[in-house]
Amino acid sequence: MPESIDWPLDHRQRSRRLFFLVLIVILIIVFGSRTALSYYVDALWFGSLGYGNVFWTTLRIQWVIFAAFSAATFVVLYGSFVALKRVHLPNLRSSHTIFIAGEPFRLPIEPVLHLVGLGISLVIAVVTGAAMMTEWPTLALYWYASPARVSVVDPILGKPLSFYLFALPAWQIILGWLMTLAVITCIAAIFFVLVSGGTRALTARRSSYAPLPVGGLSVAFAFLLLTLAGRVYLSRFELLFEDHTIFAGVTYTDAHVTLWGLLVICLALVLGAAIAIANAVSASRLRWLVAAVVPAAACFVLFQIFAWYVSSFIVKPNELVREQPYILHNIDLTRQAYGLDEISAREFPAETTVGATDPRNNQATLQNIRLWDWRALQDTLRQIQEIRTYYDFPDIDIDRYEINGAIRQVMLAARELNVEKLPESSRNWINEKLIYTHGYGITMNPVNGFTPEGLPTLILSNMPVQSTVPNLNVTRPEIYFGELTNTDVYVKTRQKEFNYPQGQTNSLTAYEGFGGIELGGFLRRILLAFDRGDIGKLPFSDDVNRNSRLLMRRNVRDRVAALAPFLTFDPDPFIVLGDDGRLSWIMDAFTTSETYPYSSHYRLGDSRINYIRNSVKVVIDAYNGTTTFYVFDTRDPIIAAYRRIFPSLFKDAAEMPPDLRKHVRYPELLLKMQAAVYGLYHMTDPGVFYNREDLWTVASELGMSPTGEQVTQPMEPNFVLMKLPGESGVEFVGILPFTPANRNNMIGWIAGRSDGAHYGTSIVYDFPKTKLVDGPLQIEARIDQNAQLSGQLSLWNQQGSHVRRGTLLVIPCGRALLYAEPIYLQAERSPMPELRLVVLALQDRLAYGPTFESAMAALFGNAPSSMSPGAAAAEPARTASGTPSRPAADLNGLITQAAKDLADYQRLTAEGKLAEAGQKLEELKHTLDELNNRQK
């Protein structure tokens, strides 16, 4: 027989080491260099904002977590592999000879198996460490949380709130990691059992019995059972925020059966682990592993049966009585979790008469009714204020400013530059990165200001910015950071930047701020170019020098998310003009959780939460990009923990400049969330809550779908400058009306307050239960049913244009509700709507006119009673049955009028004048109703 080839050991070792060295070098080059470069650029960016400590603290936490969990994973897996190999394959040969083409080759079995185990352990360890690193906010909160700050204790298990907000989420992650290790270890043990069992079966005599060696598997299985026991124990606490059909949290069955059952099952699993360990050191029989599961399985089946019995025969027949204390827990803690316990409730009479509006004492409210629908204003500004096609107004913001000594409600829009709209011939690197770098200026107009042509009355407009109010001036109109600034730019270059168009020429400028990363020497420039994807341009550009600066992450949403990824942000930032003439963006930030005990879950974007606080306001300077986080809710335990982690990131609310502080507002996102929760959780009586006797929803309105179809949708919060009922001063509040579930009439409204000492508080005004108050959809129907008004709208829709109806506003005024809807006319070939009618309504009266003043005059009874071009009209007051009443007339006159209306209706129908015929039909109905009432 030919002699087999035996590779020298040192040669094999050198080959393996060289292979691993080459592999590691390739991985470092491909992945490590890119990751290291990204970290380097991020460090420069955080440092440029003054948050270098935030970056290094985050990096330290992430890498400590990565190192700790990677090392622990590797030790467990590789240690398990080595131990299992020694137990199950103690006599494994180091090599095995095979013949290829008659030549013997010796294969290194033991070294290859060792190498496979080492490689798999390393890969799983790195992947696990990377996965755990993404959970750094949860683990860091657990480490830095201060339990002494939280005094709330859950009513069932007696754990403090800090346990649910900080400890429980961290232990869920850790136990999930341990469970993964346990499963992998068990799979490895099964592999070795099968391999060793097959080997022994081949070497044993046919007549002998070769039992499977399960000692290693027993230890691995014990590890799995202990991990499962820990997971079952944690599930007891998860019952406190589990959602059910009627309420959330522990139920009667859970409290009396499930909680105890889970504890017994946990102990049974520990017992099973002890059996598995005993099997490992003694008999090592497979049947004992099966026996280790039996106690837990038996307990699980018994408690499932017992829980079914209690639920079916004890709870169901008397559900309300049994569940009442647990429903109370859910009501109380859900209200705490969403801040509903701090909402004050007041009565609102919702009177229907004109006098109830008390116009004399509510002039500030009436003078600030928003008649400009933000969508209509946006389309109009895009036509009259964009100036060039590459400008855009991405959003319209509503705020309050002092104008001529009085606080007025205004609408603002930032004129941003959209590089995507540059002419195709101008789309090159120099234009996009060096020249067209920023937007310019803002527009401002009163919410109800119109020119005779139906266009907005602009206070701030044009380029350069012009102001019609002396105390409102924009001294730094350039917008380098905004909502459309999605690209990087380089400033302080030799290339002049485009500022704004000026006749046949362009006004040019140079950046004078301190924002961004200084490019510095050639090496830093190379690194920045490689990271930002400008490697082919930036290093070789003659326009860039060492003093030039890179402005990156210029979109304000991306900017704040990169600085504080652990916060949830309102998606709608709003622009603010400071007293110094600088422009800033303000964003609301929230802390959230999904583990608040006994609190019901609601959707917030893509997340599912049961706790929310508006703890932070973020201010971003539109010129320098300076980003500052101000803490407004110091009672929030989550933001308190983050302040312990990042003390340099947050400032107290008192440090916010006064000219910015006066523009903070009650967040729209929070108001919508609280309104949704309040619709159910304003019912604090368990019986009423259980039966859903007084369920509310946010009122619906008519809107337009993306396809242009009219749809019914929930109303958005409406910011109003008004005097709240029972208050003396004018305030900027966000309001949302409520309707009973599945009905259209209104039942109340919520107001979120924004000014002074009342900031952050909210009030709910309840209507009398016995009074029927029209909701937005019912007012819309009244507008559609008004014969004269609908006829005019039909006529406009037939003349090469179409009617565009603005958002219907519901405005509390005095002791009544005032409804307002602007109606615009828009030519088919023009995207610019113009105001043509203002419709105002009370519960028993509807009026309209070409201007707000004329509509108000018609509503309050001192205007013409018939519609003519340029005139106002009012619908007669409605009777108790809801039908308009006519002036006194005898029965013969009414009969004559009804006959005339019928004849006119038949004539107009025959002539094909359907709109006018519909108007006559309405008049006939009103006449017959009046005749019927008088006969009664």
Handedness of CA 160, 166, 167, 173 (dihedral sign): positive
Query: Among candidates 533, 429, 433, 522, which has minimal Cα distance to 34?
Result: 533
Query: Among candidates 632, 654, 652, which has minimal Cα distance to 588?
Result: 632
Q: What local confidence, expressed as pLDDT, does residue 7 receive?
A: 43
Q: What local confidence, expressed as pLDDT, does residue 27 receive?
A: 52
In the block, which residue shows the tokens 């009370």?
Answer: 842
Which pLDDT band, with edges at 50, 70 and 90, does 2 fall under? very low
Q: What local confidence, expressed as pLDDT, does residue 290 receive?
A: 87
**284 or 589, greater pLDDT:** 589
Query: What share of the chain has pLDDT > 90, as a percent?
Result: 60
150 has pLDDT over 50:
yes
Q: What local confidence, expressed as pLDDT, does residue 192 receive?
A: 82
For residue 61, give both structure tokens: 């936490």
**136 or 806, greater pLDDT:** 136
859 has pLDDT over 50:
yes
Exposed / middle / buried, residue 216 (Cβ in 10 Å: 0-12, 13-18, 19+): buried
Which pLDDT band, with edges at 50, 70 and 90, does 729 fall under? confident
Which amino acid belongs to residue 149? R
Distance from chain centroid for Cα 434 = 34
Segment 892-911, tens digit of pLDDT: 666 777 777 777 766 766 66
Q: What local confidence, expressed as pLDDT, does residue 880 receive?
A: 39
Segment 779-831, tens digit of pLDDT: 998 988 888 888 888 888 876 788 888 889 999 998 999 999 999 988 877 77
Q: What local confidence, expressed as pLDDT, does residue 418 receive?
A: 92
Average of per-residue pLDDT across 482-486: 95
Average of per-residue pLDDT across 820-846: 87
Q: What local confidence, expressed as pLDDT, does residue 498 receive?
A: 94
Q: Which residues pair with 26 in a beta bridge?
A: none
Phi/psi-derived region of residue 158, left when phi > 0, alpha when psi is between -120 and 50, beta in every other case: left
Segment 301-338, tens digit of pLDDT: 999 999 999 999 999 999 999 999 999 999 999 999 99
In the block, which residue shows the tokens 């003439």?
Answer: 581
For residue 544, give both structure tokens: 């860039």
Cα–Cα distance for residue pair 48/42, rounded to 1 Å: 10
**In this predicted structure, which of 500-504, 546-550, 693-697 has the lowest mean pLDDT?**
500-504
Average of per-residue pLDDT across 206-220: 66
Q: What local confidence, expressed as pLDDT, does residue 209 receive?
A: 47
**What does DSSP say about strands 834-842 and 845-849: parallel, antiparallel, or unpaired?**
antiparallel
Cα–Cα distance for residue pair 583/474, rounded to 1 Å: 8
Query: What share of the chain has pLDDT > 70, as a percent?
Result: 85
Q: What local confidence, expressed as pLDDT, does residue 760 receive?
A: 93
Which pLDDT band, with edges at 50, 70 and 90, does 83 fall under? confident
Segment 623-654, tens digit of pLDDT: 999 999 999 999 999 999 999 999 999 999 99
Contact indicator for 401, 408 with CB cutoff of 8 Å = yes
What ranges make up the beta strands (E) of 597-683? 602-604, 607-609, 611-621, 627-631, 650-652
Q: Indicate the pTM of the whole model.
A: 0.86
Q: What local confidence, expressed as pLDDT, does residue 208 receive?
A: 47
Average of per-residue pLDDT across 857-864: 69
Average of per-residue pLDDT across 223-231: 96
Q: What local confidence, expressed as pLDDT, does residue 95 receive?
A: 52
Cα–Cα distance for residue pair 793/791, rounded to 1 Å: 5
**In this predicted structure, which of 554-558, 671-675, 702-706, 830-834 has the lowest mean pLDDT?**
702-706
111 has pLDDT over 70:
yes
Q: What local confidence, expressed as pLDDT, does residue 440 receive?
A: 96
How many beta carbons lie within 10 A of that of residue 523, not counting itself?
Answer: 9
**711 or 675, greater pLDDT:** 675
Cα–Cα distance for residue pair 618/631, rounded to 1 Å: 9
- Between the CA of residue 696 and those of 680, 706, 737, what are the distances in Å? 6, 28, 10
Which amino acid belongs to residue 229? A
Query: Among candidates 277, 255, 257, which has minimal Cα distance to 265?
Result: 257
Which pLDDT band, with edges at 50, 70 and 90, does 24 fall under? low
Exposed / middle / buried, residue 806 (Cβ in 10 Å: 0-12, 13-18, 19+): buried
Cα–Cα distance for residue pair 573/669, rounded to 1 Å: 11
Cα–Cα distance for residue pair 165/183, rounded to 1 Å: 28
Q: What local confidence, expressed as pLDDT, does residue 802 receive?
A: 83
First to last CA, the chain: 126
How many beta carbons lie within 10 A of that of residue 172, not counting itself?
Answer: 18
Helix axes 215-238, 168-203, angle to 10 degrees: 160
- Between the CA of residue 811 and those of 506, 719, 734, 814, 816, what are the distances in Å? 46, 10, 11, 10, 9
Distance from chain centroid for Cα 565 = 13
139 has pLDDT over 90:
yes
Average of per-residue pLDDT across 267-279: 93
In the block, which residue shows the tokens 């079916």?
Answer: 312
Contact indicator for 722, 365 with CB cutoff of 8 Å = yes
Q: What local confidence, expressed as pLDDT, does residue 283 receive?
A: 61
DSSP tag of 461: E
Which pLDDT band, with edges at 50, 70 and 90, does 864 fall under? very low
Average pLDDT along the chain: 86
